[in-house]
């Protein structure tokens, strides 16, 4: 089955640590996205990528980094510079063709600072 | 600029009654509009979309939405609510200007169906 996989489902981070969230898709989608979800704030875009080896900042990129070395993979690193990283993180992908209109989402990673 | 507004943070409805979750949008050109649903600790699931054509769009799980260009609205509806419909619902509009296929999401509406 085609889909998008996020791992781990739950992640705990100590103060000062960097952690990396995995996102893999086998949908052959060109574009991939990372969102942060906090209660009452909806979805906020962190980074997105439309092509391998290229990515753009979203609305809240500070304290985060990404890479896109393969079409299938778009990992997100939450760095120690992110002062309030506790949130639910969602990865999504989409095609960029004329008939590709919406996103497919992963099941999310819940990150907690301990 | 593209934007979406969901004016209600919370909607409560009795089981068996019709439900409506409201969404209004702002775009420069023709909108591509979407509804997604999120269950606790899960990703967003696609419900339905409006691209062009008939203003009444039918989607998954018996949901439908009506596109109203004059009111710039895309309200989600269901004739008879189920307890299992209780979830967080997001409206989204596609950005036609940046060319990045980015979706702009509303802040979400929590639907609670009361048995």
Q: Cα(B84)–Cα(B5) distance, rounded to whole angstroms? A: 25
pLDDT at B99: 58
Residues of B in contact with A107 (CB under 8 A): 42-43
Q: Cα(B15)–Cα(B107) distance, rounded to whole angstroms? A: 24
pLDDT at A102: 84
Residues 6+ apart with CB under 8 A from A57: A47
Beta strands in chain B (DSSP E): 3-5, 10-14, 19-21, 24-26, 33-38, 44-50, 56-58, 64-68, 73-78, 87-94, 103-105, 109-114
Residues of B in contact with A96 (CB under 8 A): 101
pLDDT at B94: 85
pLDDT at A40: 74
Neighbouring C-beta atoms of residue A67, cutoff 10 Å: 16
pLDDT 10s digits, A41-85: 789 999 999 999 999 999 999 999 999 999 999 999 999 888 899
Question: Does residue B96 register a pLDDT over 70?
Answer: no
pLDDT at A52: 96
Cα dihedral B108, A35, A26, A12 in deg (nearest 10): -110
Q: What is the mean pLDDT of chain B?
A: 92
pLDDT at A62: 96
Question: Does residue A1 register a pLDDT over 70?
Answer: no
A11-70 residues touching B, CB cutoff 8 A: 31, 33, 40-43, 45, 48, 50, 56
- Whether A85 contacts A32, CB under 8 Å: no
pLDDT at A4: 96
pLDDT 10s digits, A7-31: 999 999 888 899 999 999 999 999 9
Lowest mean pLDDT among A49-58, A85-94, B94-103: B94-103
pLDDT at A112: 94
Partnered with residue A42 across adjacent β-strands are none
Strand, coil or helix: B104 = strand
What are the two backbone dihedrals, phi and then psi, of residue A93, each rounded to the nearest 5 degrees?
A: -140, 160
Total residue length of chain A: 114
pLDDT at B98: 59
pLDDT 10s digits, B46-91: 999 998 888 999 999 999 999 999 999 999 999 999 999 999 999 9
Q: Cα(A3)–Cα(A92) distance, rounded to whole angstroms? A: 10
Residue B106 backbone class (left: φ over 0; alpha: ψ -120 to 50; beta: rest): beta
Q: How confident is the model at residue A2 (pLDDT cuts 50, 70, 90)?
A: low
pLDDT at A25: 97
Residues of B in contact with A106 (CB under 8 A): 43
- Whether residue A102 and residue B46 make contact (CB cut-off 8 A), yes or no, is yes
- Closest residue on chain B to A88 (Cα): B41
Question: Does residue B93 register a pLDDT over 70?
Answer: yes
The angle at the Cα of B34, spanning B32 to B37, to the nearest 5 degrees, equals 170
- Mean pLDDT score, A99-110: 88
Question: Does residue B97 register a pLDDT over 70?
Answer: no
């Amino acid at each position: 089955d085609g889909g998008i996989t996020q791992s781990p489902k739950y992640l705990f981070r100590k103060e000062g640590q960097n952690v990396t969230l995995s996102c893999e898709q086998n949908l052959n989608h060109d574009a991939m996205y990372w969102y942060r979800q906090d209660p009452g704030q909806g979805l906020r875009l962190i980074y997105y990528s439309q092509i391998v080896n290229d990515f753009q900042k979203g609305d809240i990129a500070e304290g985060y980094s990404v890479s896109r070395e393969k079409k299938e993979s778009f990992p997100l690193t939450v760095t120690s510079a992110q002062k309030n990283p506790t949130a639910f993180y969602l990865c999504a992908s989409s095609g960029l063709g004329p008939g590709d209109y919406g996103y497919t989402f992963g099941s999310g990673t819940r990150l907690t600072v301990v | 600029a593209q934007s979406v507004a969901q004016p209600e943070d919370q909607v409560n409805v009795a089981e068996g009654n019709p439900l409506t979750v409201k969404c209004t949008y702002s775009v420069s050109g023709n909108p591509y509009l979407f509804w997604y649903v999120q269950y606790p600790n899960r990703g967003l699931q696609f419900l339905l979309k409006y691209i062009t054509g008939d203003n009444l769009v039918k989607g998954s799980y018996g949901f439908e939405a009506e596109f109203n260009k004059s009111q710039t609205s895309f309200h989600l509806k269901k004739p008879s609510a189920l307890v299992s419909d209780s979830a967080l619902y997001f409206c989204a509009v596609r950005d036609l200007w940046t060319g990045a296929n980015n979706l702009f999401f509303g802040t979400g509406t929590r639907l609670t169906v009361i048995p």
